[in-house]
Amino acid sequence: MLTGAALFLDFDGTLTPISATPDGVIVDDGLVPLLLTLRERLDGRLAIVSGRSVETLRALGFGDFLLAGTHGLEFARPGGAVEAPPRPAAIDDVEAAFHAFAADKPGVLVERKSISVGLHYRGAPVWQDAAHALARQWANHDGLALQQGKMLYELRPDGADKGSAVHALMAQGPMAGGVPVFIGDDVTDEEGFAAAADLGGAGILVGPKRATYAAYSLEQVAAVRHYLAEGVSRLG
Ligand SMILES: O=P(O)(O)OC[C@H]1O[C@H](O[C@H]2O[C@H](CO)[C@@H](O)[C@H](O)[C@H]2O)[C@H](O)[C@@H](O)[C@@H]1O
Protein backbone atom coordinates (compact mmCIF):
# COMPACT_ATOMS: atom_id res chain seq x y z
CA MET A 1 0.00 0.00 0.00
CA LEU A 2 2.94 2.35 0.51
CA THR A 3 4.12 2.04 -3.09
CA GLY A 4 3.59 5.47 -4.64
CA ALA A 5 2.23 6.83 -1.37
CA ALA A 6 2.38 10.39 -0.12
CA LEU A 7 2.47 9.53 3.57
CA PHE A 8 0.84 11.77 6.18
CA LEU A 9 1.61 10.80 9.77
CA ASP A 10 -0.07 11.97 12.93
CA PHE A 11 2.23 12.12 15.97
CA ASP A 12 0.66 11.43 19.41
CA GLY A 13 -0.97 8.03 19.58
CA THR A 14 0.32 7.11 16.12
CA LEU A 15 4.11 7.43 16.12
CA THR A 16 4.39 7.44 19.92
CA PRO A 17 2.20 5.97 22.65
CA ILE A 18 -0.03 8.37 24.57
CA SER A 19 1.65 9.45 27.81
CA ALA A 20 0.24 10.87 31.03
CA THR A 21 1.22 14.45 30.16
CA PRO A 22 2.12 16.32 26.93
CA ASP A 23 5.73 16.76 28.10
CA GLY A 24 6.04 13.09 29.03
CA VAL A 25 5.96 11.84 25.46
CA ILE A 26 9.02 9.82 24.44
CA VAL A 27 10.53 9.81 20.97
CA ASP A 28 12.66 6.68 20.94
CA ASP A 29 16.01 6.61 19.13
CA GLY A 30 14.73 4.51 16.25
CA LEU A 31 11.84 6.69 15.13
CA VAL A 32 13.51 9.57 13.29
CA PRO A 33 15.98 7.33 11.39
CA LEU A 34 13.08 5.07 10.36
CA LEU A 35 11.08 8.02 9.04
CA LEU A 36 14.10 9.47 7.21
CA THR A 37 14.74 6.16 5.47
CA LEU A 38 11.10 5.73 4.59
CA ARG A 39 10.94 9.26 3.18
CA GLU A 40 13.93 8.51 0.99
CA ARG A 41 12.19 5.36 -0.31
CA LEU A 42 9.09 7.49 -1.02
CA ASP A 43 11.10 10.09 -2.96
CA GLY A 44 10.47 12.69 -0.27
CA ARG A 45 6.71 12.15 0.08
CA LEU A 46 6.38 12.02 3.88
CA ALA A 47 4.95 14.69 6.18
CA ILE A 48 3.98 14.90 9.85
CA VAL A 49 0.54 16.41 10.47
CA SER A 50 -0.06 17.04 14.15
CA GLY A 51 -2.05 18.97 16.69
CA ARG A 52 1.29 19.89 18.23
CA SER A 53 2.82 23.19 17.15
CA VAL A 54 5.65 23.18 14.61
CA GLU A 55 7.89 24.61 17.32
CA THR A 56 7.17 21.63 19.58
CA LEU A 57 7.56 19.08 16.77
CA ARG A 58 10.96 20.55 16.00
CA ALA A 59 11.95 20.46 19.67
CA LEU A 60 10.93 16.79 19.73
CA GLY A 61 13.43 16.04 16.94
CA PHE A 62 11.36 16.40 13.73
CA GLY A 63 13.09 19.51 12.37
CA ASP A 64 14.17 17.69 9.19
CA PHE A 65 10.61 16.90 8.12
CA LEU A 66 7.84 18.64 6.26
CA LEU A 67 5.46 19.63 9.06
CA ALA A 68 1.86 20.74 9.42
CA GLY A 69 1.26 21.78 13.03
CA THR A 70 -1.61 22.95 15.24
CA HIS A 71 -4.25 20.90 13.40
CA GLY A 72 -3.37 22.20 9.92
CA LEU A 73 -2.91 25.85 10.82
CA GLU A 74 0.90 25.91 10.66
CA PHE A 75 3.29 24.72 7.93
CA ALA A 76 7.07 24.39 7.73
CA ARG A 77 9.54 22.81 5.36
CA PRO A 78 12.73 21.27 6.80
CA GLY A 79 14.73 24.13 8.33
CA GLY A 80 12.36 26.71 6.82
CA ALA A 81 10.32 29.49 8.32
CA VAL A 82 7.01 28.64 9.98
CA GLU A 83 3.93 29.81 8.09
CA ALA A 84 1.18 30.40 10.64
CA PRO A 85 -1.59 32.82 11.46
CA PRO A 86 -0.86 35.25 14.30
CA ARG A 87 -1.58 34.18 17.86
CA PRO A 88 -5.02 35.64 18.57
CA ALA A 89 -5.03 38.07 21.50
CA ALA A 90 -7.97 36.16 22.99
CA ILE A 91 -5.80 33.07 23.44
CA ASP A 92 -4.05 34.79 26.34
CA ASP A 93 -7.44 35.37 27.98
CA VAL A 94 -8.37 31.72 27.45
CA GLU A 95 -5.04 30.64 28.89
CA ALA A 96 -5.62 32.79 31.99
CA ALA A 97 -9.12 31.31 32.40
CA PHE A 98 -7.71 27.77 32.00
CA HIS A 99 -5.03 28.45 34.63
CA ALA A 100 -7.63 29.82 37.05
CA PHE A 101 -9.71 26.66 36.47
CA ALA A 102 -6.74 24.30 36.92
CA ALA A 103 -5.30 26.03 39.97
CA ASP A 104 -7.29 24.03 42.54
CA LYS A 105 -7.64 20.83 40.46
CA PRO A 106 -4.57 18.60 40.75
CA GLY A 107 -4.11 16.60 37.55
CA VAL A 108 -5.67 19.24 35.29
CA LEU A 109 -2.98 20.76 33.04
CA VAL A 110 -2.79 23.82 30.84
CA GLU A 111 -0.66 23.41 27.71
CA ARG A 112 0.58 26.68 26.24
CA LYS A 113 1.03 26.30 22.49
CA SER A 114 2.23 28.66 19.75
CA ILE A 115 -1.19 29.92 18.62
CA SER A 116 -3.54 27.89 20.80
CA VAL A 117 -3.99 26.60 24.33
CA GLY A 118 -5.03 23.20 25.65
CA LEU A 119 -6.79 22.11 28.82
CA HIS A 120 -5.87 18.51 29.67
CA TYR A 121 -7.88 16.41 32.12
CA ARG A 122 -6.13 13.04 31.64
CA GLY A 123 -4.77 13.34 35.19
CA ALA A 124 -8.22 14.07 36.66
CA PRO A 125 -11.02 12.76 34.40
CA VAL A 126 -13.64 13.75 36.98
CA TRP A 127 -13.28 17.32 35.67
CA GLN A 128 -14.12 16.48 32.04
CA ASP A 129 -17.60 18.04 32.00
CA ALA A 130 -16.50 21.19 33.80
CA ALA A 131 -13.49 21.53 31.49
CA HIS A 132 -15.75 21.10 28.46
CA ALA A 133 -18.19 23.72 29.75
CA LEU A 134 -15.37 26.21 30.28
CA ALA A 135 -13.78 25.56 26.88
CA ARG A 136 -17.17 25.84 25.13
CA GLN A 137 -17.61 29.35 26.48
CA TRP A 138 -14.67 30.52 24.38
CA ALA A 139 -15.66 28.83 21.12
CA ASN A 140 -16.53 31.32 18.35
CA HIS A 141 -15.02 34.11 20.45
CA ASP A 142 -12.65 36.28 18.39
CA GLY A 143 -12.40 33.65 15.63
CA LEU A 144 -11.53 30.81 17.97
CA ALA A 145 -12.63 27.21 17.50
CA LEU A 146 -13.02 24.48 20.11
CA GLN A 147 -10.90 21.45 19.24
CA GLN A 148 -11.53 18.23 21.09
CA GLY A 149 -8.70 15.75 21.56
CA LYS A 150 -7.90 12.77 23.73
CA MET A 151 -8.78 13.96 27.25
CA LEU A 152 -8.14 17.48 25.99
CA TYR A 153 -10.09 20.59 25.04
CA GLU A 154 -8.21 23.16 23.04
CA LEU A 155 -8.99 26.66 21.77
CA ARG A 156 -7.32 27.58 18.51
CA PRO A 157 -7.89 29.84 15.51
CA ASP A 158 -10.64 28.56 13.22
CA GLY A 159 -10.20 28.04 9.48
CA ALA A 160 -8.12 24.90 8.97
CA ASP A 161 -7.96 21.26 9.92
CA LYS A 162 -5.88 18.22 9.04
CA GLY A 163 -7.99 17.73 5.89
CA SER A 164 -7.20 21.20 4.58
CA ALA A 165 -3.54 20.52 5.42
CA VAL A 166 -3.59 17.36 3.27
CA HIS A 167 -5.16 19.27 0.36
CA ALA A 168 -2.61 22.09 0.69
CA LEU A 169 0.38 19.76 0.87
CA MET A 170 -0.83 17.61 -2.04
CA ALA A 171 -1.16 20.68 -4.27
CA GLN A 172 2.56 21.40 -4.51
CA GLY A 173 5.98 20.42 -3.23
CA PRO A 174 7.26 16.95 -2.41
CA MET A 175 3.87 15.34 -1.65
CA ALA A 176 2.31 16.25 -5.03
CA GLY A 177 1.88 13.33 -7.40
CA GLY A 178 1.67 10.66 -4.69
CA VAL A 179 -1.34 8.71 -3.49
CA PRO A 180 -2.24 10.17 -0.08
CA VAL A 181 -2.19 7.79 2.87
CA PHE A 182 -3.04 9.32 6.24
CA ILE A 183 -2.28 7.41 9.45
CA GLY A 184 -3.80 8.67 12.70
CA ASP A 185 -5.65 7.74 15.87
CA ASP A 186 -7.65 10.72 17.08
CA VAL A 187 -10.93 12.38 16.11
CA THR A 188 -8.80 15.26 14.78
CA ASP A 189 -7.43 12.84 12.18
CA GLU A 190 -10.83 12.13 10.63
CA GLU A 191 -10.61 15.16 8.30
CA GLY A 192 -7.20 13.86 7.22
CA PHE A 193 -8.67 10.42 6.45
CA ALA A 194 -11.52 12.00 4.48
CA ALA A 195 -9.16 14.24 2.49
CA ALA A 196 -6.89 11.31 1.65
CA ALA A 197 -9.91 9.34 0.39
CA ASP A 198 -11.20 12.35 -1.62
CA LEU A 199 -7.83 12.55 -3.35
CA GLY A 200 -7.81 8.89 -4.31
CA GLY A 201 -5.95 7.50 -1.32
CA ALA A 202 -7.00 6.19 2.08
CA GLY A 203 -6.84 6.61 5.81
CA ILE A 204 -5.50 4.13 8.35
CA LEU A 205 -7.04 4.36 11.82
CA VAL A 206 -4.78 3.44 14.75
CA GLY A 207 -6.62 1.84 17.65
CA PRO A 208 -9.99 0.23 18.28
CA LYS A 209 -12.58 0.22 15.47
CA ARG A 210 -15.05 3.12 15.48
CA ALA A 211 -17.13 5.05 12.97
CA THR A 212 -14.40 6.51 10.77
CA TYR A 213 -13.48 7.78 7.31
CA ALA A 214 -10.45 5.49 7.40
CA ALA A 215 -10.68 2.43 5.18
CA TYR A 216 -8.03 0.47 7.06
CA SER A 217 -6.82 0.07 10.63
CA LEU A 218 -3.81 -0.85 12.70
CA GLU A 219 -4.18 -1.96 16.31
CA GLN A 220 -1.67 0.25 18.05
CA VAL A 221 1.53 2.29 17.81
CA ALA A 222 3.68 -0.85 17.70
CA ALA A 223 1.73 -2.05 14.65
CA VAL A 224 2.28 1.33 12.96
CA ARG A 225 6.01 1.04 13.52
CA HIS A 226 6.00 -2.49 12.12
CA TYR A 227 4.00 -1.32 9.09
CA LEU A 228 6.42 1.55 8.42
CA ALA A 229 9.47 -0.69 8.85
CA GLU A 230 7.95 -3.23 6.45
CA GLY A 231 7.38 -0.39 4.03
CA VAL A 232 11.08 0.43 4.12
CA SER A 233 11.94 -3.20 3.32
CA ARG A 234 9.39 -3.54 0.54
CA LEU A 235 10.19 -0.23 -1.11
CA GLY A 236 13.95 -0.86 -0.88
O1 LIG B 1 -2.41 15.40 16.32
P2 LIG B 1 -1.54 14.74 17.35
O3 LIG B 1 -0.10 14.67 16.93
O4 LIG B 1 -2.08 13.41 17.78
O5 LIG B 1 -1.59 15.72 18.61
C6 LIG B 1 -2.81 15.82 19.35
C7 LIG B 1 -2.53 16.37 20.73
O8 LIG B 1 -1.51 15.54 21.29
C9 LIG B 1 -1.05 15.87 22.59
O10 LIG B 1 -2.04 15.51 23.54
C11 LIG B 1 -2.32 14.13 23.57
O12 LIG B 1 -1.11 13.40 23.83
C13 LIG B 1 -0.56 13.65 25.17
C14 LIG B 1 0.78 12.91 25.25
O15 LIG B 1 0.67 11.57 24.86
C16 LIG B 1 -1.57 13.17 26.20
O17 LIG B 1 -1.05 13.39 27.52
C18 LIG B 1 -2.88 13.94 26.01
O19 LIG B 1 -3.87 13.44 26.90
C20 LIG B 1 -3.40 13.79 24.58
O21 LIG B 1 -4.52 14.64 24.36
C22 LIG B 1 -0.65 17.31 22.69
O23 LIG B 1 -0.38 17.62 24.05
C24 LIG B 1 -1.67 18.25 22.10
O25 LIG B 1 -1.13 19.57 22.03
C26 LIG B 1 -2.03 17.80 20.68
O27 LIG B 1 -3.04 18.66 20.13
Q: What is the pLDDT along the chain (236 residues), one digit of tens a residue?
A: 799 999 999 999 999 999 999 999 999 999 999 999 999 999 999 999 999 999 999 999 999 999 999 999 999 999 999 999 999 999 999 999 999 999 999 999 999 999 999 999 999 999 999 999 999 999 989 899 999 999 999 999 999 999 999 999 999 999 999 999 999 999 999 999 999 999 999 999 999 999 999 999 999 999 999 999 999 999 98
Give the distance, in angstroms, between the CA of residue 10 and the centroid of all CA atoms in the same chain.
Answer: 5
Residue 18, domain extent: 5-73+160-235
The domain total for the chain is 2
| Ligand 1 atom 21, closest CA | 150
Residue-wise DSSP of 52-120: S-HHHHIIIIITTSEEEEGGGTEEE-TT-PPB-PPPPHHHHHHHHHHHHHHTT-TT-EEEE-SS-EEEE
The burial class, CB within 10 Å (0-12 / 13-18 / 19+), for 79 is exposed
| Ligand 1 atom 13, closest CA | 22
Which atom of ligand 1 lies at the shortest distance from residue 11's CA? 3
The last residue of one of the domains, among 157, 179, 203, is 157
In a domain, 173, yes or no: yes
153 C-alpha vs ligand 1 centroid, how far in Å?
Answer: 10
Q: Which of 8, 12, 166 to mutate to test the pocket of ligand 1 (most atoms within 8 A of CB)?
A: 12
Same domain flag for 166 and 136: no
* pTM for the whole structure: 0.97
Which atom of ligand 1 lies at the shortest distance from residue 150's CA? 21
In a domain, 82, yes or no: no
In a domain, 35, yes or no: yes
In a domain, 226, yes or no: yes
